[in-house]
Amino acid sequence: MRNPNKKRRIVSYLIIIISSCIMLTPFITAALNSLKSYKQYTAIPVEWIPNPFQWQNYVEVWKMTDLGTYGVNSLIVTVLSVAGALLSCSMVAYAFARLEFPFKNSLFIMVLGTLMIPPVVMIIPQFIIFKHMGFLDTLVPLWILEWLAQPFGIFLMRQAFLSIPKEYEEAAKLDGCSPFQTYWRIFLPMCKPQLATLTIFTFMTKWNEIMAPVIYLSSEEKFTLPIGVLSLQGAWFGKEQYLIAAALMTLIPILIVFLFTEKFFVKGASSSGLK
């Protein structure tokens, strides 16, 4: 263990504390806004502190939309997506990073290319594909693509695999491991920080996704959370503060996931004989 020098620690603390404040202040403002009455919320000049604190805003939001059912749907989609992304992206990425196979470079360019297609133009063609597969109004279109390796994850994991020394691979080969076994038993456990990053990324995008659920889901009992939140927007209601309350409520599960995966970012937790 190094002996951290004092000056460095102080500088680090300063940077982190200042930036944490910058990060959090606006967030606290939003939380306060969610606790105001509409009148106070729209008042000019701003009244920063809710008076009184309208905790019932959260209760109302809970009652107005079926957040429970939507939450379960969101959870199904998100968990399936995360599992799919972790497995498929890491496997594909391993092959790109560590194995030689025909057309590897062209295929990798293809992966990069996929990342660059503007999502808007994919909406109609993909809708038609899923229609013919009979997946309209099911949750399948929302997670299936994650099982087929999304380019972002491939790219992220590939970079992680690239930074692992070659010796591990050679040692595994000597032990008679197939490439798949080498990937599964040796390389994958060494990339926990990146797997955690991918988990959070996938969780976040899927949890907050709006366009695909709106387009693919038609029956209310299949809706996901963001649809529920946006439905509150009903153009004429004069209750915009509910939107913030609802949005904040949907953050809680992601925060839990973050806390859960946090330990993978902590130095040492990912050590796998690297020392």
Partner 1 sequence: MSKVRWSRYVLYMFALFALVLSACSNQTEGEAEQDGDNDSTSEEQVEITLGFYSSGSADQKMEELINKFEEAHPNIKVTTQNAPYSQFFQKLDTQIAGGTAPDVWLSDGVFVQKYAERGAAKDLTEWINKDLNKEEYFGLDFNKDSDGKYWAVPQGIQIGALFYNKDMFDQAGVDYPDDNWTWDDLKEAGAKLTLDANDNNANASSFDTSTVKQFGLTFFNITEGWMPVLKSYGGGVLDDELKNSIVDSPENKEAMNWIVDGMERGILTDPADLQAFQSPMSPFPSETAAMRIGIYARVLAANETGVNYDVTVLPKGPSGERFSPVIANSWIISESASDAKAQAAWEWIKYWVTEDEVQKEWAELGEAVPVKKSVANSDLFIGSGEKPENKQAFLDSFDFAGTLDVNAVWSEWVKVFGDNVNRAFLGETSVDEALEEADQEVQKVLDEFYNNQ
Partner 2 sequence: MANPSKIEHNKPTQVTEPKNKKRLTHEGKWGLIMISPYLIHFVVFIAFTLIASFYFSLSKYDMLNAPEFIGIGNYTKLVNDQVFWQALGNTVYFTVLFVPAQTILALILAVALNQQLKGLKLFRMAHFIPVISSWTVVLYVADAIFNPRFGLANTILSKIGMSQQQWLNDEMLVIPVLVVVAVWKGIGYMMVIFLAGLQNVPEDLYEAAEIEGAGVLKKFRHVTIPLISGTTFLVLVLSTITTFQAFEQIYVMTGNGGDITAAGGPNNSSMVLMLYLFQQGFAFLKMGYASAIAWVLFIILFIITLIQVKLQNKWVHYEK
Residues found near partner 1 in the complex (CB under 8 A): 37-39, 41-45, 64, 123-124, 127-129, 131-133, 136, 178, 210-211, 214-215, 218-220, 227, 230-240
Closer residue to partner 2 in complex, CB, 61/154? 154
**Minimum distance from residue 59 beta carbon to partner 2 (Å):** 19
**Minimum distance from residue 13 beta carbon to partner 2 (Å):** 6
Please choose which of partner 2, partner 1, none residue 49 contacts, taking the beta carbon within 5 to 8 angstroms, the exact cut-off set by kind.
none
Closer residue to partner 2 in complex, CB, 219/267? 267
Closer residue to partner 1 in complex, CB, 64/254? 64
**Minimum distance from residue 203 beta carbon to partner 2 (Å):** 9
| Cβ(32)–Cβ(49) below 8 Å | yes
Non-local (6+) Cβ contacts of 201 within 8 A are 152, 153, 156
**Tokens for 122?**
């994919």
**Minimum distance from residue 168 beta carbon to partner 2 (Å):** 11
* Amino acid in the structure at residue 239: K
Please state at what angle helix 151-162 crosses helix 67-98, rounded to 10 degrees.
50
Please choose which of partner 1, partner 2, none residue 136 contacts, taking the beta carbon within 5 to 8 angstroms, the exact cut-off set by kind.
partner 1
Residue 234's CB is within 10 A of a number of other CB atoms, namely 11
Closer residue to partner 2 in complex, CB, 59/211? 211
**Minimum distance from residue 55 beta carbon to partner 2 (Å):** 18
184 secondary structure, DSSP code: I
| Cβ(261)–Cβ(200) below 8 Å | yes
Closer residue to partner 2 in complex, CB, 84/217? 84
Backbone angles phi, psi at 177, to 5 degrees: -80, 140
Cα separation, 119 vs 116, whole angstroms: 8
Please choose which of partner 2, partner 1, none residue 222 contacts, taking the beta carbon within 5 to 8 angstroms, the exact cut-off set by kind.
none
**Tokens for 196?**
């955690």
Closer residue to partner 1 in complex, CB, 247/257? 247
Please choose which of partner 1, partner 2, none residue 174 contacts, taking the beta carbon within 5 to 8 angstroms, the exact cut-off set by kind.
none
Cα separation, 191 vs 248, whole angstroms: 31
Please choose which of partner 2, partner 1, none residue 76 contacts, taking the beta carbon within 5 to 8 angstroms, the exact cut-off set by kind.
none
| Cβ(68)–Cβ(231) below 8 Å | no
| Cβ(61)–Cβ(67) below 8 Å | yes
Please choose which of partner 2, partner 1, none residue 42 contacts, taking the beta carbon within 5 to 8 angstroms, the exact cut-off set by kind.
partner 1
